[in-house]
Amino acid sequence: PQIIRLEDYREPAYLVENVELVFDLESESTRVVCAATYYANNTDNAPLVLDGEDLKLLHISLDGRELGENDYSCDNKSLTIPDLPERFELVIETEIDPKGNTQLSGLYQSNGTYCTQCEAQGFRRITYFQDRPDVMATYNVTIIADKASCPVLLSNGNLLEHNDVEDDQHIAVWHDPFPKPSYLFALVAGDLAQVSDTFVTCTGRTVDLHIFIEHGNEDRVDWAMESLKAAMKWDEDRFGLEYDLDLYNIVAVSDFNMGAMENKSLNVFNTKYVLAKSDTATDADYAGIEGVIAHEYFHNWTGNRVTCRDWFQLSLKEGLTVFRDQEFSSDMRSRPCERISNVKVLRAAQFPEDAGPLAHPVRPEQYMAIDNFYTATVYNKGSEVIRMMHTLLGEDNFRKGMDLYFERHDGQAVTCDDFAAAMMDASDIDLTQFKLWYSQAGTPEVTAHWSYDHEAQRFDLTLAQHLAPTPGQNDKQPMHMPISVGLLDLEGMEILSDVLSVSKARETFSFENIESEPVISLNRDFSAPIKLKAAYSRVELAFLMANDSDDFARWEAAQTYGTDLLLDMVKAYQKGQPFKKDEDFIQALRQTLLNDQLDLDFIALCLQLPTEGYLAEQMETIDVVAIHQAREALRRYIAEDLQKDFLRIFRDLRSDKPYSPNAASCGQRALKNTCLSYLAEGDDPACLALITAQYHNANNMTDRMAALSILSNKEADARLEALEDFYTRFKDDALVVDKWLSVQAMSSLPGTLATVQNLMSHEAFSIRNPNKVRSLIGVFAHANPLHYHNEDGSGYAFHTDRILELDKINPQIAARMVAPLGKWRRFDKKRQDLMKAELQRIIATDGLSGDTFEMASKSLG
């Protein structure tokens, strides 16, 4: 496959004014007519090159004249027409096969519903077009379909006409007045139920809101609708951004490559991010829906009104929109807990990416398949970059920068530099060096040293930053970053707090008039997305756990302490030595557990030990068995010492009240279920009975699922009984069945790979459905290090077989599954060889997609 480079960017040869699309929908042969007005864009008589993929070309006419085969050239990638006037009207008729479209890109069918996914390059699978975001046009869309099987016909913008026509067909005409790139085009047609509401904007306009779902799901959309209205209100309050049409549609489909898509006024969603009721969705599902609904809504301004010039600028819309949805969720629920969970995601997904063979800058410089760049780096690190600008500028200046960005660029396709320029011009703060965050890959490592001079009453902090080479980038420059710090006196009172603007490779900051030796709290609120190396003693960490006024730093102290201990235990295990129990750590956790000043969800987070994946990242050579054994042992020590507390709190927090998804109730359940999981460590029959009882009596999915995941790791009849009961209860509910698949794929019990293999042929599984693939195979490969990395290589072989099977069906999903194999450098020689052999097997496969080739070849390095 070809490499596309940012430096090769050229403006389009032609621009488009208006696009008229007519769809005659038939499952296996849909006719698409695309009529568009083109005009030359400062180029002399250049040929027009249109993208197209898997299309059957039926007719082309230019200004009313039918073109013959000698007038153009065409292959399965493009259609080229030479010798064109300055301005012309082109009409192209193609035929496509929605039913046969298993890639779920372009126009496809999900449970019979026609829907589209055009980002990034799916529009070219519908018609020939300059399928790039800097070609913006208004769209008029006519849909003709069978009235009985497709009563609902939707596209972007406003409905102009809807009429019955002959042969039991009907026809709908939609018009979107806002010029948009082709990736924001959408069409939906099917037999769907609809739930409606309205939102009155800040200027008093009434917007009609509709959520379309499959029949029978009408009772599961309340939360999504509430979340949408909350997001609309929040964007007005925080950013002064009002919705710009009178209609906002959301459609939920079961087969979807990602979470959701922000098509102008017609969002298409994975059902996972729309449907929820308390007996089928967990608290995490509710939070996910709230966040994704808001994310897609926020794209209306950051993405749609102002879009990306080219796909290298993807983070312009994604990083910014993730920042906005994180801010929204922080306002809707607990800000510190939101921050902690966002940092956990960053560390679990982005830091490893940045440290491995697939590392790329937030604004990548080259790609083979753009779909491979919808990554944690572009999204989550991209959001951290925006957050750092926010920290450096402050809320007021940041808001001025946003206002200026919209004032300058509304209706345009722009770059990350344009965004930074608006921030700089509005604030007068120089971001020149800061912009290295867009171009340099890798996670900076910042080492902190400090000393206190009693006589001078001065505290000196020295910060040294280092950025390791990443593929294609050997020499790195120092980055500009905000480091938030606090000093605490020995009573735990805060002496000062400050945000340091760090920009040199090594820099010392002095704090004067410090009367006694303080304890320093560093990188509070995770103000910079770095790896911090600070020589804290365990006593200091326990002190910060008990006293830091910054909740993030308090949680971080618990994580650092736990990590420190666990890595020592890993070493002991490797040497065949017994584990040592650290009473002080357990007492520090106990103090946190019993601290009635803290929120329950925060306490629950503090009690959760660093994950196996996080611990693996801290090791030079990863030892999955030692990590698992050490972590289990520490959990047992904690459970032993705090058993009485866990039991009492578990009992106190049980509640018969009806389920509520609000933050306070979520916090209660989170802590209660954390206690329950520790109680389960002892293998005491009375505790097993508690868990089984919670499984059976739960009045909500959060509690039921918490019990089921504990049981799924127990060698007990209760596990099989619960799993069977769960499937019987929920087998008709696809999203709940996904949980059933995941919980089994995550089990640490021996025989898990065989279970996963058997589940592949269970009626509950389908390799064509991305949710099923992610729930079973994705979870096994990403979230079960113990079994995935089995030293006999069986996990790798299974995984590779699935990648190759999927590559023929849905290359985007296949390519996304390759990453775990790319971690080979981090393992022992035996596993390295096994993993590399599988990557080689992938690359050597005939007919491999470009998407999967890019991921596998880069992973081999």
Q: Which residues carry out catalysis? A: 296
* Whole-angstrom distance, CA of residue 445 vs CA of residue 529: 9
Q: How far apart are the C-alpha atoms of 273 and 544, rounded to whole Å? A: 37
The residue from 125, 295, 554, 858 that contacts ligand B3K (CB under 6 A) is: 295
The stretch among 66-74, 172-180, 233-241, 292-300 that binds ligand B3K (CB under 6 A) is 292-300
- Binding segment (CB under 6 A) for ligand B3K, from list 291-299, 487-495, 726-734, 785-793: 291-299
Residues forming beta bridges with residue 15, ordered by sequence position: 39
| Minimal distance, residue 304 CB to ligand B3K, in Å | 10
Comparison of 126 and 488: residue with beta carbon closer to ligand B3K? 126
Residue 53 sits in the site that holds ligand B3K (CB under 6 A): no
State yes or no: residue 363 binds ligand B3K (CB under 6 A).
no
| Beta carbon of residue 126, minimum distance to Zn ion (angstroms, whole number) | 21
Closest CB 294 distance from ligand B3K, rounded Å = 11
**CA-based torsion, 850, 852, 858, 861: positive or negative:** negative
- Alpha carbon 236 to chain centroid distance? 24
Residue 103 or 341 having the CB closest to ligand B3K = 103
Comparing CB distances to ligand B3K, the nearer of 382 and 486 is: 382
261 interacts with, out of ligand B3K, Zn ion, none, CB within 5 to 8 A per kind:
ligand B3K
Is the sign of the CA dihedral 426, 427, 430, 436 positive or negative? negative
Beta bridge partners of 498: 485
**Main-chain dihedrals φ then ψ at residue 217, nearest 5 degrees:** -105, 10
CB 295 within 8 A of CB 228: no
Judged by beta carbon distances under 5 to 8 A according to partner kind, the member of Zn ion, ligand B3K, none in contact with residue 566 is none
Of 295 and 347, the one with the shorter C-beta distance to ligand B3K is 295
Nearer to ligand B3K, 139 or 183 (CB): 183
State which of positions 258-297 bind Zn ion (CB under 5 A).
Answer: none
Q: Which does 371 bind (CB under 5 to 8 A by kind): ligand B3K, Zn ion, none?
A: ligand B3K
Site for Zn ion in 123-162 (CB under 5 A): none
Q: Which of residues 125 and 789 has its CB atom nearest to ligand B3K in the complex? A: 125
Beta strands in 12-149 (DSSP E): 14-24, 30-40, 48-51, 56-62, 65-66, 73-74, 78-81, 87-96, 106-110, 113-117, 137-146
Region from 253-261, 323-331, 496-504, 754-762 binding ligand B3K, contact rule CB under 6 A? 253-261
Burial 426-445 (b: 16+ CB within 10 A, else e): bbebebeebbbbbebbbbbe
Least spacing, CB of residue 371 vs ligand B3K, in Å: 4
Residues forming beta bridges with residue 170, ordered by sequence position? 145, 164
Query: What does the alpha-carbon distance between residue 188 and residue 166 come to, in Å, rounded to a whole number?
Result: 21
We find the least distance from the C-beta atom of residue 149 to ligand B3K, in angstroms, to be: 28
Contact 92, 33 (CB under 8 A): yes
Supply the minimum distance, in Å, between the C-beta of residue 431 and ligand B3K.
24
Which pair of structure tokens corresponds to residue 163? 């009429």
**Which of ligand B3K, Zn ion, none binds 600 (CB below 5-8 Å, type-dependent)?**
none
Is 296 among the residues that bind ligand B3K (CB under 6 A)?
Answer: yes
Judged by CB under 6 A, which of 23, 273, 323, 374 binds ligand B3K?
374
CB 53 within 8 Å of CB 78: no
Q: Each residue of 551-566: b (16+ CB within 10 Å) or e?
A: bbbbbbbbbbbbbbbb
Question: Cβ contacts of residue 167 below 8 Å, gap of 6+?
Answer: none
For tokens 């493009």, the residue is 78
Q: How far is CA 303 from the centre of its chain?
A: 16
* The binder of ligand B3K chosen from 143, 250, 261, 622 (CB under 6 A): 261
**Residue tagged 């065409």 (tokens):** 74
Task: Please state whether 751 falls in left (phi above 0), alpha (psi between -120 and 50) or beta.
Answer: left
Using the minimum distance from each CB to ligand B3K, give the nearer residue, 106 or 661: 106
Tokens read off for 331: 């306002």
Nearer to ligand B3K, 62 or 293 (CB): 293
Task: For residue 258, state whether it binds ligand B3K (rule: CB under 6 A).
Answer: yes
Residue from 677, 675, 668 nearest 700 by CA = 668
From 224-232, 311-319, 627-635, 737-745, span contacting Zn ion (CB under 5 A): 311-319
Minimum distance from residue 255 beta carbon to ligand B3K (Å): 14
* Contact pick of 51, 134, 262, 310 for ligand B3K (by CB under 6 A): 262
- The CB-of-549 to ligand B3K minimum distance in angstroms stands at 35
Binding at 525: pick from ligand B3K, Zn ion, none (beta carbon under 5-8 Å per type): none
Binding flags for Zn ion, 315-354, as an x/- string (CB under 5 A): ---x--x---------------------------------
Radius of gyration of the chain from its Cα atoms, rounded to whole angstroms: 28
CA distance 534 to 807: 44
Distance CA 157, CA 171 (A): 16
Residue 120 in the binding site for ligand B3K (CB under 6 A): yes
Site map (CB under 5 A) of Zn ion, residues 717-736, x = contact:
--------------------
Using the rule CB under 6 A, give the single segment among 86-94, 260-268, 551-559, 741-749 that binds ligand B3K.
Answer: 260-268
* Residue 799 makes contact with ligand B3K by CB under 6 A: no
**Cα-to-chain-centroid distance, residue 525:** 20
How far is the CA of 763 from the CAs of 171, 256, 766, 774, in angstroms? 38, 20, 8, 16
| Token duo for residue 448 | 């902190």
* 854 scored as a contact of ligand B3K (CB under 6 A): no
* 269 vs 526 by CB, closer to ligand B3K: 269
Which CB atom, from 372 or from 702, has the smaller least distance to Zn ion? Answer: 372
Query: In angstroms, rounded to a whole number, what is the distance separating the alpha carbons of residues 174 and 187?
Result: 10
Phi, psi of 622, deg, nearest 5: -75, 135
Residues in contact with ligand B3K, counted by CB under 6 A, come to a total of 13
- x/- contact string, 381-400, with Zn ion (CB under 5 A)? --------------------
Residue closest to ligand B3K (Cβ): 119
658-696 core/surface letters (b: 16 or more CB in 10 A; e: else): ebebebebbbbbbbbbbbbbbbbbeeeeebbebbbebbe
Residue 242 vs residues 72, 203, 286, 509, 860: alpha-carbon distances, Å:
45, 8, 25, 43, 47
Nearer to ligand B3K (CB atom), residue 296 or residue 807: 296
Looking at the Cβ atoms of 93 and 318, the one nearer to Zn ion is: 318
Alpha-carbon gap, residue 413 to 436, rounded angstroms: 22
Closest approach of Cβ 78 to ligand B3K, in Å? 20
Q: Which is nearer to ligand B3K, 120 or 189 (CB)?
A: 120
Choose the one of ligand B3K, Zn ion, none that binds residue 119, judging by a C-beta under 5 to 8 angstroms depending on kind. ligand B3K
Q: Which of 119, 283, 601, 703 lies at the binding interface for ligand B3K (CB under 6 A)?
A: 119
Q: Which does 120 bind (CB under 5 to 8 A by kind): ligand B3K, Zn ion, none?
A: ligand B3K
The 307-346 contact track toward ligand B3K, x by CB under 6 A, reads -----------x----------------------------
Position 371 contacts ligand B3K (CB under 6 A): yes
549 in Cβ contact with 486 (< 8 Å): yes
Closest approach of ligand B3K to the CB of residue 258, in Å: 5
- Can you give the binding site for Zn ion, defined by CB under 5 A? 318, 321
- Can you give the binding site for ligand B3K, defined by CB under 6 A? 119-120, 257-258, 260-262, 295-296, 299, 318, 371, 374
